[in-house]
């Protein structure tokens, strides 16, 4: 049987995460990094030279989209450009891998979904945590009925970002980066939607508490409460500034068991709750919480990219597609609206 040709990928944005995504495309047997586009074409060229790649360099997306044979675009440009770039790529008939946040307005997210659906292209959000080993294990426990019915879920995003970094000139600015609730805790919301499904109602308090060289507009502290359509409740915490290494938590409580980060408690473990049996839990490898590294690189980015490439070549339904990306974004925007209007909000669900 003739070997199927590789999926030819164009990378947009050869910055910090774009460079990781580019390497993940290069290392995928079924994909080829065909082009890289960055406003700073010298940066793109240096990156490709460093990695012995002869991908073509562009300094403008339009030109890259005109390049024949490119089937998919990985978008790792700044947040405020996501809408324009994702719509342009989808309208040109390219499959889209889009970094988070989907867009900095809900209308922008809606435009992306429409373009993706109209052109019937594959779509993946850069929400890699659904593929973390711990998350996959928890999902398998649920599928086997071992956690019972899910009743409560919580996930925190604690990230110490020093106050004297230049990053504050854009991070936390509404019109440049969008909210931290979407750009940061969008990861947590997306993850807990993976477990509990769609959200019926959201309430949120938020604030700015940490001193910085350039102060942020949006929020560095928030608590988001969720009621899912399933009846389960959820909570997401955000603190961008704690004296703590980067910490992303996950706790899933079911009627028959609990996943407390890398500790699993099941009601099949004898007398687990009795005095003297506090250690009677299953301890999962610490490395399964793959992302808890300050400034770190996630192993699971590769799995997310591999899944996107497989979605294209095997013509599968996307693992975490555009509608799902919209629904996560809608919860984030509902949280912002809740904090502003001091009432709970029912997010739009596609």
Ligand X SMILES: NC(=O)c1ccc[n+]([C@@H]2O[C@H](COP(=O)([O-])OP(=O)(O)OC[C@H]3O[C@@H](n4cnc5c(N)ncnc54)[C@H](O)[C@@H]3O)[C@@H](O)[C@H]2O)c1
Least separation in angstroms between residue 166's CB and ligand X is 11
- Distance in angstroms (rounded) separating the CA atoms of residues 155 and 162: 22
C-beta atoms surrounding 157 within 10 Å: 22
Nearer to ligand X, 16 or 169 (CB): 16
Nearer to ligand X, 17 or 214 (CB): 17
Nearer to ligand X, 36 or 204 (CB): 36
Least separation in angstroms between residue 177's CB and ligand X is 7
Label residue 196 left, alpha or beta by phi (over 0 means left) and psi (-120 to 50 means alpha): alpha
Handedness of CA 331, 125, 99, 232 (dihedral sign): positive
Least separation in angstroms between residue 98's CB and ligand X is 9
Nearer to ligand X, 71 or 99 (CB): 99
Copy the structure tokens of residue 163: 């106050």
Nearer to ligand X, 79 or 258 (CB): 79
- Distance in angstroms (rounded) separating the CA atoms of residues 340 and 61: 36
Least separation in angstroms between residue 21's CB and ligand X is 9
Tell me the residue nearest to ligand X as measured from the CB: 15
Question: Which burial class, exposed, middle or buried, applies to 61 when counting CB atoms under 10 A from its CB (0-12, 13-18, 19+)?
Answer: buried
Least separation in angstroms between residue 183's CB and ligand X is 5
Query: Mutual orientation of helices 106-119 and 322-341 as an angle, nearest 10°?
Result: 170
Q: Assess contact for 238 and 246: CB atoms under 8 A.
A: no
Closest-CA residue to 331 (of 85, 175, 109): 109
Least separation in angstroms between residue 116's CB and ligand X is 18
Nearer to ligand X, 11 or 232 (CB): 11
- Distance in angstroms (rounded) separating the CA atoms of residues 77 and 292: 24
Judge if the upstream peptide bond of residue 101 is cis by omega within 30 degrees of 0.
Answer: yes
Least separation in angstroms between residue 150's CB and ligand X is 25
Query: What are the distances in angstroms from CA 152 to CA 196, 263, 336?
Result: 9, 16, 22
Nearer to ligand X, 108 or 254 (CB): 108
Q: Assess contact for 232 and 238: CB atoms under 8 A.
A: no
Nearer to ligand X, 150 or 177 (CB): 177
Least separation in angstroms between residue 192's CB and ligand X is 16
Contacting positions for ligand X (CB under 6 A): 12-18, 37-40, 43, 61, 76-79, 81, 99-100, 126, 183
């Amino acid at each position: 049987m003739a070997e199927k040709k590789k999926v030819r990928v164009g990378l947009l944005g050869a910055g910090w995460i774009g460079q990781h995504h580019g390497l993940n495309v290069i290392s995928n047997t079924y994909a080829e990094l065909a082009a890289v586009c960055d406003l700073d074409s010298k940066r793109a060229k240096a990156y490709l030279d460093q990695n012995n790649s002869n991908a073509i360099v562009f300094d403008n997306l339009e030109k890259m989209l005109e390049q024949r044979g490119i089937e998919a675009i990985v978008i790792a440009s700044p947040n405020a450009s996501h809408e324009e770039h994702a719509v342009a790529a989808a309208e040109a008939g390219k499959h889209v891998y889009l970094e988070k946040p989907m867009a900095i307005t809900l209308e922008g997210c809606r435009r992306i979904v429409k373009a993706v659906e109209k052109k019937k292209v594959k779509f993946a959000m850069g929400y890699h945590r659904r593929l973390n080993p711990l998350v996959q294990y928890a999902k398998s426990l649920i599928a086997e009925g071992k956690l019972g019915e899910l009743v409560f879920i919580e996930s925190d995003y604690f990230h110490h970002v020093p106050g004297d970094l230049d990053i504050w000139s854009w991070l936390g600015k509404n019109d440049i980066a969008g909210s931290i609730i979407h750009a940061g805790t969008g990861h947590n919301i997306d993850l807990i939607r993976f477990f509990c499904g769609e959200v019926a109602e959201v309430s949120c308090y938020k604030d700015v508490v940490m001193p910085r060289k350039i102060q942020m507009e949006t929020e560095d502290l928030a608590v988001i409460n969720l009621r899912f359509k399933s009846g389960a409740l959820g909570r997401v915490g955000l603190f961008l500034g704690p004296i703590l290494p980067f910490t992303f938590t996950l706790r899933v409580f079911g009627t028959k068991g609990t996943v407390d980060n890398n500790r699993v408690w099941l009601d099949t473990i004898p007398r687990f709750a009795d005095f003297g049996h506090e250690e009677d839990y299953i301890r999962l490898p610490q490395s399964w919480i793959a992302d808890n590294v300050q400034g770190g690189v996630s192993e699971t980015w590769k799995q997310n990219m591999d899944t996107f490439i497989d979605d294209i070549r095997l013509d599968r339904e996307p693992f975490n597609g555009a509608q799902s990306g919209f629904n996560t974004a809608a919860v984030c925007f509902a949280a912002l609206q809740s904090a502003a209007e001091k009432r709970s909000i029912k997010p739009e669900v596609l």
